[in-house]
Amino acid sequence: MASSMASLTKWLLPPKKSEEAPAKNDWAPAESLLGTELPGDYKQFVGTYGTGWINKYLHVMNPFSAKLPWMERMQLMLFTLHLVRRNAQVPGARDLPVPFGEINNLPYPVFPEPGGLLPWGYTINGDALCWLTKGTPDKWTLVADSRGQYAEFAGPMSAFLYDVLSERISWGIFQAGVNEEPVRPTFALHEVARRAGKGK
């Protein structure tokens, strides 16, 4: 975990002054609200980067953010996942024509069900990034949505982000092997991204 965060911070340079990073690094209220502990590298990411957007496209949710309220977004994403999960259990739902079949194909339980999906990030296209909450938090694997298609990746979150952003693996708009040299990503504070018309 420490090595993957170190690799990520070298590749995705943190802001000189983060926005809404936890002052006291007190995660107890957020974890109590959720009813689960959260992975250590996620806490390190939020403490290092605060609130912002990767490539003005991908947002890692911050429980300490007032500008992008975490619990409101979490509840909305969980509600949506529960709805998709329920629809996926309707006979014949997965056989519907695209795109209806895609959005009705969720083969995972949803938190707080045991081993359920718990969101930690999203994109401006509405794709969800989740943990699969099996085992201890630092061992959670990841499930990434790309336009209704779900794929599992080994954790932790920081390793996934590093591998995607350095073009080692493909996910969504990030494709491995497209460029001769990987293009260094950027992290924009939320206010900067918002003024550019990307942050929401």
Q: Which tens digits make up the pLDDT trace of 94-128? A: 554 433 334 556 889 999 999 999 999 999 888 89
Quick: pLDDT tens for 140-187.
999 998 877 888 999 899 999 999 999 888 777 676 666 667 788 999
Domains of the chain with CATH codes: 2-195 (3.40.1580.10)
User: Which residue's structure tokens are 């420490």?
Assistant: 2
CA–CA distance, 82 with 79 (Å, rounded to integer): 5
Question: What are the helix and strand counts (H, E) for the chain?
Answer: 7, 7
Average pLDDT over the chain, rounded to an integer = 83
Question: HSE (CB half, 13 Å, CA atoms) of 127?
Answer: 19
Q: How many CB atoms lie within 10 A of CB 20?
A: 20
- CA–CA distance, 168 with 89 (Å, rounded to integer): 35
Q: Render pLDDT for 73-83 as a digit per residue (tens, 0 to 9).
A: 999 999 888 88
Q: How confident is the model at residue 47 (pLDDT cuts 50, 70, 90)?
A: very high
Question: For the chain, how far is it from start to end, CA to CA, in angstroms?
Answer: 29
- Please tell me the pTM assigned to this model: 0.84
pLDDT single digits (tens) 53-92:
999 899 999 999 998 889 999 999 998 888 887 765 545 4
Residue 194 predicted with pLDDT over 70:
no
- Paired residues of 142 in beta bridges: 131, 153
